[in-house]
Amino acid sequence: MSLEEVKFCLRCGTPLVLLPRAGKDRPTCPACNWIYFPDPKVAVAVLIEQDGKVLLTRRVMNPQRGSWTLPGGFLDAGEAPQAAAARECLEETGLEAEVGELLALIPGQEHARGADFVLVYSAHITSGELAAGDDADRVAFFARDNLPPLAFQATRQILQLDPKV
């Protein structure tokens, strides 16, 4: 949630005002002194390769509707990152995956509602049937030298890495 979206105290409902707190102006409750500190959004993704091809999903929502990306999504509060990566993979591809090592932590918010950090894990399929779901309308394997239009810089960045290094 952005600073502009937070208008009322989450504790008592009083309208917030900007006051100098912790080195900058922050939305603060004048009634109970609660301060809004925005938390970074964290996304997770999996890199699954099979027969020399990488698994990608096509986005049905903006931003980047119709472009392709790694299976992934947002980490929920209290959720282990590897569990979130496996959950997102299942939701978007119909495939259960065993999530392995962390391949990259990619910083940089690409759009207003995007993640501040993307954690990309290696993974391999353990079961399931390939079928698009959730916020993907297609899912397929692609050779790295014949990729479709990619949605995000984080996807482009990880596909340039050798996951075996």
Residue keyed to tokens 């299942």: 90
Please report the pLDDT score of residue 1 as a whole number.
56
Residues 100-117 have a mean pLDDT of 86
Mean pLDDT of the chain: 91
Residue 146 confidence (pLDDT) = 93
DSSP designation for 70 = -
- Using one digit for the tens of pLDDT, what is the confidence trace for 76-90? 999 999 999 999 999
Q: What pLDDT, on a 0 to 100 scale, did the predictor assign at position 2?
A: 61
The alpha-helical segments, DSSP class H, found in the chain are 81-93, 153-159
**Structure letter (DSSP) for residue 92:** H
Look at residue 129 in the predicted model and tell me its pLDDT.
Answer: 95
Q: What pLDDT does 32 receive?
A: 97
Q: What pLDDT is attached to residue 65?
A: 86
Residue 161 has pLDDT above 60, yes or no: no
Percentage of the chain lying above the pLDDT 70 cut:
95
- What's residue 165's pLDDT? 36
Residue 90 has a CB neighbour count (10 Å cut-off) of 17
- For residues 110 and 120, what is the distance between their CA atoms, to the nearest angstrom? 16
- C-alpha to C-alpha distance for 100 and 96, rounded to whole angstroms: 13
Predicted TM-score (pTM) of the model is 0.85
Per mean pLDDT, which of 4-8, 39-43, 92-96 is the most reliable? 92-96
Domain boundaries for CATH 2.20.70 within the chain: 1-38
Which distant-in-sequence residues (6+ apart) come within 8 Å of 38 by Cβ? 1, 2, 3, 6
| pLDDT, tens digit, 9 for 90 and up, residues 28-77 | 999 999 999 988 899 999 999 999 999 999 999 888 888 999 999 999 99
Our separate counts of H helices and E strands in the chain read 2, 9
- CATH number listed for the domain at residues 1-38: 2.20.70
pLDDT of amino acid 133: 87
Query: Which residues of the chain form CATH 3.90.79.10?
Result: 42-159
- Decide if domain 42-159 falls under CATH 1.10.730.10: no
Residue range 11-33: average pLDDT?
95
Q: What is the pLDDT of residue 114?
A: 75
pLDDT at 164 over 50: no
